[in-house]
């Protein structure tokens, strides 16, 4: 009997020990998970403290810099105008970053923008360039949207408004949306090539067929000896040789101070109204020294009209009223937009022939365009 009691007692003790071992095991598991939870909380707190420290300390870092251990203190940057990093010297500017779209053409050697960019960089050191091919869809759209006449061309982002350059350059800037295109030719930038031809309106003096694909536009001044020579050596033989195969448009490009030159341009336009432009223009060039030196050229110009068989009454009224003054003023503005510095300046399409060009030079360009 006593042995049975002892066995029961031993069994009870073993059960208690086992229960304690189980409880101890459970406690150990619970403590392990609690430790993990504590560690996670501590890590989150550390992260919060770190991030707070970054902001409070005004540290200018990004993820890559944190990994690499780099970064700059914004406080230090604010106090430094120049600092070195990565083998380069960085200079601080008060002006914003200005993005510049540079439209050019790699097939045109003269269209390289490097020379202009060097000058722009000096005036606008915070600019960032993006090269755009003039022949691409993007380039063609920009040329059309901004009515760009020459390349290389430069289009600035709206941030240019916040720069010192803006006040000086604004008269030469065309705004569309939030961007500005500089009028390169007007601003005196070198012209690589023209991508737009002068506009032709029904008010312009036109000879030949308006249906022709080849358009010759001559900016000329009746008072200039160079224009007299060009009219005799280029325009006259051109009209005889090509006739209606081309359209020749004559635009009077006269300085506002050339009083007699403006009078001659008005008279030529009045003669054109009666279908006598060629005859009248020939007379003007032939007698350039006569009317050009007169204090008042009007009586002489009216006399030419009568001699050439024009309706004197209509011609005189047209001249006295300065009927075509607005047209001549608009032509001067147009010539300036193309950066024309002298006459004669003759366009065959978008190809500008300089005053030194010969008739054979002109013929080559005309033939090329006729054969397209």
Say how far residue 254 (Cα) sits from the centre of its chain: 28
Q: Are residues 146 and 184 in the same domain?
A: yes
The dihedral sign for the CA sequence 307, 312, 314, 315: positive
The answer to whether position 25 is within a domain reads: no
* pLDDT surpassing 50 at residue 23: no
* pTM, entire model: 0.74
**What pLDDT score does 34 carry?**
65
Q: Are 304 and 169 in contact (CB under 8 A)?
A: no
Segment 286-345, tens digit of pLDDT = 999 999 999 999 999 999 999 999 999 999 999 999 999 999 999 999 999 999 989 999
Q: Are residues 213 and 316 in the same domain?
A: yes
Which DSSP state fits 189? P
Q: Give the span between the Cα atoms of 231 and 283, in whole angstroms.
A: 11
- Token pair for residue 223? 């008072």
**What pLDDT score does 70 carry?**
52
Segment 73-119, tens digit of pLDDT = 666 667 777 877 778 888 888 889 999 999 999 999 999 999 999 99
Residue 301: burial class (beta carbons within 10 Å; 0-12, 13-18, 19+) = buried
Number of structural domains in the chain: 2
Q: Give the span between the Cα atoms of 186 and 147, in whole angstroms.
A: 13
CATH number at residue 135: 3.40.30
* pLDDT surpassing 90 at residue 10: no
* pLDDT surpassing 50 at residue 62: no
The answer to whether position 259 is within a domain reads: yes
Find the domain containing 209 and state its range.
205-370
- Token pair for residue 368? 């090329």
Number of residues that make up the chain: 372
Q: Across all residues in the chain, what is the average pLDDT?
A: 85
**By 3-state DSSP, what share of the chain in percent is helix, strand and coil, each rounded to 5?**
55, 15, 30
Q: Are residues 210 and 255 in the same domain?
A: yes
Of 151, 168, 194, which residue constitutes the final position of a domain?
194
Tell me the backbone φ, ψ of residue 148, rounded to 5 degrees: -70, 135
Q: Give the span between the Cα atoms of 310 and 20, in whole angstroms.
A: 131
Q: Give the span between the Cα atoms of 13 and 364, in whole angstroms.
A: 120
* pLDDT surpassing 70 at residue 12: no
The answer to whether position 357 is within a domain reads: yes
């Amino acid at each position: 009997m006593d042995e049975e009691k002892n066995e029961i007692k031993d069994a009870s003790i073993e059960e208690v020990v086992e229960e304690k071992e189980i409880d101890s095991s459970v406690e150990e598991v619970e403590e392990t998970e609690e430790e993990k939870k504590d560690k996670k909380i501590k890590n989150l707190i550390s992260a919060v403290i770190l991030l707070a420290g970054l902001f409070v300390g005004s540290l200018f870092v990004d993820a890559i810099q944190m990994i690499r251990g780099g970064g700059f203190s914004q406080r230090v940057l604010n106090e430094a105008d120049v600092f070195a990093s990565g083998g380069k010297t960085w200079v601080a500017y008060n002006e914003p970053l200005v993005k510049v779209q540079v439209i050019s053409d790699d097939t045109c050697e003269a269209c390289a923008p490097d020379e202009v960019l060097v000058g722009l960089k000096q005036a606008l050191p915070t600019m960032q360039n993006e090269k755009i091919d003039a022949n691409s869809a993007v380039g063609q759209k920009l040329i059309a949207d901004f009515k760009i006449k020459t390349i290389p061309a430069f289009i600035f982002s709206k941030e240019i408004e916040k720069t010192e350059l803006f006040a000086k350059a604004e008269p030469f800037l065309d705004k569309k949306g939030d961007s500005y295109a500089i009028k390169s030719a007007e601003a005196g930038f070198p012209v690589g090539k023209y991508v737009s031809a002068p506009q032709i309106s029904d008010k312009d003096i036109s000879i030949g067929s308006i249906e022709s694909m080849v358009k010759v536009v001559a900016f000329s001044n009746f008072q200039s000896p160079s224009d007299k020579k060009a009219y005799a050596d280029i325009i006259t033989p051109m009209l005889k040789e090509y006739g209606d195969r081309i359209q020749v448009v004559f635009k009077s490009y006269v300085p506002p101070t050339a009083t007699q030159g403006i009078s001659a341009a008005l008279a030529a336009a009045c003669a054109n109204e009666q279908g006598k432009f060629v005859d009248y223009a020939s007379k003007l060039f032939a007698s350039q020294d006569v009317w050009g030196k007169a204090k008042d050229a009007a009586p002489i110009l009216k006399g030419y009209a009568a001699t050439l068989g024009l309706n004197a009454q209509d011609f005189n009224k047209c001249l006295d009223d300065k009927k075509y003054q607005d047209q001549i003023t608009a032509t001067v503005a147009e010539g300036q937009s193309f950066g024309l510095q002298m006459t004669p300046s003759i366009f065959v399409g978008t190809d500008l022939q300089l005053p030194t060009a010969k008739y054979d030079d002109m013929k080559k360009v005309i033939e090329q365009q006729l054969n397209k």
